[in-house]
Amino acid sequence: MTEPTIDEGPSRRAPAWWQIILVGRNPRFTGVRVGVTVLLAWLVFGEILRPIRVAGPSMEPTYRFGQVNFINRWSFKFRPPSRGDVVGVRMAGESVIYLKRIVALPGERIRFRRGKIHINDEPLDEPYLRNPAPWNEAEMQLGPDEFFIVGDNRTMSARDHTHGAFRRSDLIGRVLF
């Protein structure tokens, strides 16, 4: 009479140390993790968030020179641009982006009178402003697809400060922080 034996199958060898360093103990799981990480990074930083570094004084004191931030390119998918939003505005491409604040919406009339913004003849409350210079500008009627954007730093001359009516398609998204 023979004793029963238990078949343990092929013996499992422990992976070599270099294999653990390169692909982990479970290469298939490591591959899936790397794939998911790459996909997430591409989705977040390639499609949704656009990293920016503030390079200019026009949004001071809200955003200072050298600060790093992100533009959320999907932000307008869920809520249209609105007054008070700080948004990224592009030029020819997306390498140079203006960071400005939306102060007037499509169809509105806007003018600067002694440094104060008037929308449809009503003064706009802007608590983020510090010591604005007395800008005076002619009234501008915005078109159905135009947003008026301007920086928070109005201590500088109006001529040196890029501001005006931009098309909706030029607005990339809201600033994240």
Partner 1 sequence: MAAVVAAVGGLAWNFRPTEEKRIRKAIGGLAADATFSGREGNFAKIAKIESLAGRFTEDADIRIDQVVPIDAGLHGRESIRQVLGAGMPLLGSIKVQVHDLRVEMLDELTAKAVLTASAQAGGQRDIAAQEFELRMVKQRGRWLVGRVEAILGYRRPVIQ
Residues in contact with partner 1 by the rule CB under 8 A: 55-58, 65, 91-96, 98, 110-112, 135-138, 140, 146, 158-160, 163-167, 170
Of 103 and 175, CB closest to partner 1: 103
- Burial group, residue 166, by CB count within 10 angstroms (0-12, 13-18, 19+): buried
Nearest to 53 by CA among 40, 41, 67, 33: 67
DSSP one-letter code for 74: T
CB of 127 to partner 1, least distance (A): 23
Q: How far is the CB of 48 from partner 1 (least distance, A)?
A: 20
Report the alpha-carbon distance of residue 34 to residue 25 in Å, rounded: 14
Q: What are phi and psi of 119, to 5 degrees?
A: -105, 120
Q: 71 near 52, Cβ under 8 Å?
A: yes
**20 versus 119: smaller Cβ distance to partner 1:** 119
What is the nearest approach in angstroms of partner 1 to the Cβ of residue 83? 17
23/118 with CB nearer partner 1: 118
Q: How far is the CB of 31 from partner 1 (least distance, A)?
A: 26
User: Nearer Cβ to partner 1, position 70 or 112?
Assistant: 112
